[in-house]
Amino acid sequence: MLNKVIHSDILQKKRKLDSSKEESTSPTCINGNIKTNYFSEYEQKYMEKAFELANEALQSNEVPVGCIFVYEDNIIAIGRNMVNETRNATRHAEMCCIDQVNDFCKKENLNFIAVFKETFVYVTVEPCIMCAAALYDLKVKSIIYGCKNDRFGGETVFNVADVLKPVTTRKGGYRADDAMNLLKLFYQGVNPSAPSSKLKRKFKETT
């Protein structure tokens, strides 16, 4: 299903670039600073898609984080946390997307370094230390996110930018309360549609 969505977006490559794209590339976010309370229509559109994926993660009993990567006005990767499903602690939404971009580049015969440099990352929660380091290292153009990540945040807990001095611009705060509430729902184990898994019971016992 993921490939289908990505493929359909790639097919839209020829559509004309509208003015909203120009908005996203204008200097509304300043390198090193997080600007809140301003999100262009273009950014809002993609953040809403990221929220859809976060909700999907919650329904699948995964930490509700959703993410999409956009390159030349096309969605080239969509991801959500898959840590429980894959039993792999590195399968964060952003990491899933990075793998998809690599596949996309191979398929389209594109240079992945050049593609990442022009890629916008939309994610519902501030990237963790691991993901922030990876995204900075890949030199993605911009990261737009929802709520802060008080447990593992690559800015909030440990500022990876101090070490890697990224070219990536960042800004957060889009529907931050909603993004945080999704996390709370998960950690409180109150997802009404999730099966009563071991994980859910574990959280109930510890909270």
Rounded to a whole number of angstroms, the minimum distance from the CB of residue 128 to Zn ion is 3
Rounded to a whole number of angstroms, the minimum distance from the CB of residue 86 to Zn ion is 14
Q: List own/partner pairs for 154-159 with CB under 8 A and 24 or more apart.
A: 154/126, 154/127, 154/128, 154/129, 154/130, 155/34, 155/126, 156/126, 157/129, 158/129
User: At residue 175, what is the residue type?
Assistant: R
DSSP string covering 115-166: HHHTEEEEEEE--BHHHHHHHHHTT-SEEEEEE--TTTBTTTTS-HHHHH--
Strand order in the sheet with 119-125: 74-80, 66-71, 119-125, 142-147, 169-171
Element (H, E) at 5: helix 2-10
Nearest CB to Zn ion, comparing residues 131 and 182: 131
Rounded to a whole number of angstroms, the minimum distance from the CB of residue 205 to Zn ion is 26
Nearest CB to Zn ion, comparing residues 6 and 96: 96
Nearest CB to Zn ion, comparing residues 24 and 149: 149
Catalytic residue among 43, 62, 94, 155: 94
Q: Which spans of this chain sit near Zn ion (rule: CB under 5 A)?
A: 92, 128, 131
Q: Say how far apart CA 118 and CA 142 lie, in whole Å.
A: 8
Rounded to a whole number of angstroms, the minimum distance from the CB of residue 29 to Zn ion is 20
Tell me, yes or no, if 94 is annotated catalytic.
yes
Nearest CB to Zn ion, comparing residues 142 and 149: 149
Rounded to a whole number of angstroms, the minimum distance from the CB of residue 131 to Zn ion is 3
Element (H, E) at 95: helix 93-108
Q: Say how far apart CA 20 and CA 25 lie, in whole Å.
A: 9
Nearest CB to Zn ion, comparing residues 92 and 148: 92
- Show which residues are catalytic: 94
